[in-house]
Amino acid sequence: MVIVGLTGGIGSGKTTISKHFESFGIPIYNADKEAKALMKRSKVIKRKLIELFGKDTYKEGDLNRSYLSSRIFSDQNLLKKMNAIVHPKVASHFKRWVKKQNSPYIIKEAAIIFENQLENQYDYIIIVIADENLRIERVTKRDGASTKKVKSIMKNQLPDSEKIKKADFIIQNNELNTAKKQADGIHQKILHKISG
Ligand code: ATP
């Protein structure tokens, strides 16, 4: 199975563009969404996270996201430990999911690929980019987050200029219809590469 990574900074439009690929039958695995679901569902992850962060990690059975992000935000070491608990589970869940798909290729949407040198896990990588001011505007509108918060998340992500150098395909998503047209072209190119 050909695995295509779809990445991009916060608010670039990864999920929006993934949905467009989905509309022509490409299965999408949203790694961040699945990680959150597993953090809620998996007993092993739950136990290990509570060992690491304490009982406040869960509130009425649900992941206490604001508590968790406040703990990991200022502590890279804790973030690494959390990833070491969650990532292997997501990886095996993804492997099982891939086996069940029946399509020329699948897309794995993940905010972090280049940041953790995970590019070898993909046959091709698409990066979605958009101007920083637009991304801030979108996320503040979508999540009610402050500009300061969005900027601080951006600081922890690689700049687009670095990711562009390493990606196979780029989608410029300042304007949605233009971005969708680029996605159409990339879909055809990938199909062509696979069949050729
Ligand atoms: P995150 O990194 O936070 O998960 P993302 O990269 O997946 O974000 P989306 O959730 O797809 O980004 O988009 C962020 C917000 O911007 C959404 O509310 C979406 O509807 C909107 N959006 C995406 N693309 C465009 C566009 N081209 N024009 C206007 N709004 C857009």
| pLDDT mean over 170-186 | 98
Query: pLDDT at position 116, please?
Result: 84
* Domain that includes residue 169, residue range: 1-27+105-196
Q: Please tell me the distance between residue 167's alpha carbon and the centre of ligand 1 in angstroms.
A: 20
The single residue listed with the structure tokens 């502590």 is 75
pLDDT of residue 15: 98
Percent of the chain whose predicted confidence (pLDDT) is above 90: 88
pLDDT tens-digit readout, 11-43: 999 999 999 999 999 999 999 999 999 999 999
Quote the number of domains for the chain.
2
Ligand 1 pocket, residue 112 CB under 6 Å: no
Check pocket membership of 98 for ligand 1, CB cut-off 6 A. Answer: no
Residues 182, 111, single domain; the answer is yes
Last residue of a domain, one of 100, 125, 148: 100
Same domain, 96 and 110: no
Q: Which residues contact 82 (CB under 8 A, 6 or more apart)?
A: 49, 52, 53, 68, 72
pLDDT at 196 > cutoff 90: no
Nearest ligand 1 atom to alpha carbon 130: 27
Last residue of a domain, one of 53, 77, 100: 100
Do 94 and 109 lie in a common domain? no
* Ligand 1 pocket check for 15: Cβ under 6 Å: yes
- Quick one: 43 and 137 in the same domain? no
Q: For the ranges 3-7, 25-29, 62-66, 95-99, which has the lowest average pLDDT?
A: 62-66
pLDDT of residue 69: 87
191 and 109 co-located in one domain: yes
Give the end of a domain, one of 43, 65, 100: 100
What is the CA(13)–ligand 1 centre distance, in A? 4
Nearest ligand 1 atom to alpha carbon 18: 11
Q: How far is the CA of 51 from the centre of ligand 1 (A)?
A: 35
12 within ligand 1 shell (Cβ under 6 A)? yes
Q: Are residues 96 and 126 in the same domain?
A: no
d(CA 104, CA 121): 17
**Domain co-membership, 76 together with 158:** no
Q: How would residue 95 be classed by pLDDT, with cut points 50, 70 and 90? A: very high
120 and 87 share a domain? no
Contact 86/135 with Cβ under 8 angstroms?
no
Q: Are residues 109 and 194 in the same domain?
A: yes
Question: Is the domain of 113 the same as that of 192?
Answer: yes
Residue 56 and residue 20 share a domain: no
pLDDT confidence tier of residue 74, bands split at 50, 70 and 90: confident
Q: Provide DSSP, 131-168.
A: -HHHHHHHHHHHH---HHHHHHHHHTS--HHHHHHH-S
Nearest Cα residue to 107 out of 11, 161, 183: 183
- Whether ligand 1 lies within 6 angstroms of the CB of 154 is answered as no
Say which CATH number the domain at 68 has. Answer: 3.40.50.300
Q: Looking at ligand 1, which atom is closest to the CA of residue 16?
A: 11
Cα separation, 144 vs 137, in Å, equals 10
The whole-angstrom separation of Cα 133 and Cα 65 is 26
For residue range 125-137, list pLDDT tens digits in order. 999 999 999 999 9
| Same domain, yes or no: 95 and 110 | no
What integer pLDDT is reported at residue 115 of this predicted model? 87
